[in-house]
A and B are shown apart, each in its own frame.
Chain A
Amino acid sequence: DTAVSQTPKYLVTQMGNDKSIKCEQNLGHDTMYWYKQDSKKFLKIMFSYNNKELIINETVPNRFSPKSPDKAHLNLHINSLELGDSAVYFCASSFRETQYFGPGTRLLVL
């Protein structure tokens, strides 16, 4: 019973393409997040979202957009993919002080 799940696990695509990564949590949490982990393992928050507010890290290009069809899902859409977008993207959800992460989506842009 996976708490936070992401699909796909691996994504290989060409520069310029548009792609989406899906995230679902079955924990009943109100807040979800997207983080990016680069090749040096550095983790940075991209977005946080609950049903009241979206907080965007100002360093994230506007080619990235989160979409939340309901409280259990927060998908990440990426337009016009660039080489530098290659990374592992982690979804997370939280309730109060505890935050749980998904297994990650490994994106490779060629």
Chain B
Amino acid sequence: GEDVEQSLFLSVREGDSSVINCTYTDSSSTYLYWYKQEPGAGLQLLTYIFSNMDMKQDQRLTVLLNKKDKHLSLRIADTQTGDSAIYFCAESIGPEGGADGLTFGKGTHLIIQP
């Protein structure tokens, strides 16, 4: 079955790196995603990675994928107060262009300490 797990909370100091982890169970995942949700707001697509890649970097964001262990992580360098939000890991198991939705983790609340 489909299951995506994340820690519920992560607290980091401003300026440090944040690493948010996620594990998934479905080995047929095609894409894995990170979404950000600020309080009272919608979901913002941050980045995503194809399942045959093991790393993707985009400015302060680094995504690492260990397909063998079914582990995905999001590293945010130089964490700022504006990074305070809930971060959702999600997987897509359907074919590209198909109508399958995403399976989300329960979200990690990132708390920034001054």
- Whether B96 contacts A35 by the Cβ 8 Å rule is no
8 A Cβ contacts from A43-73 to B: 43-45, 48-50, 52-53, 55
Q: For this complex, into which size category does the number of interface residues on chain B fall?
A: 20 to 34
- Whether A48 contacts B101 by the Cβ 8 Å rule is yes
- Whether A43 contacts B97 by the Cβ 8 Å rule is no
- Whether B41 contacts A53 by the Cβ 8 Å rule is no
The chain A residues found within 8 Å of chain B, CB to CB, are 30-31, 33, 35, 40-45, 48-50, 52-53, 55, 90, 92, 95-104
Total A-B pairs, Cβ < 8 A: 63
- Whether A101 contacts B42 by the Cβ 8 Å rule is yes
- Whether A35 contacts B48 by the Cβ 8 Å rule is no
**A interface, by DSSP: helix, strand, loop or mixed?**
strand
The chain B residues found within 8 Å of chain A, CB to CB, are 30-31, 33, 35, 37, 41-45, 48, 50, 86, 88, 92, 96-104, 106-107
A43 CA / B43 CA spacing, docked (Å): 11
Distance in Å from the Cβ of B36 to the closest Cβ of chain A?
A: 11
- Whether A96 contacts B100 by the Cβ 8 Å rule is no
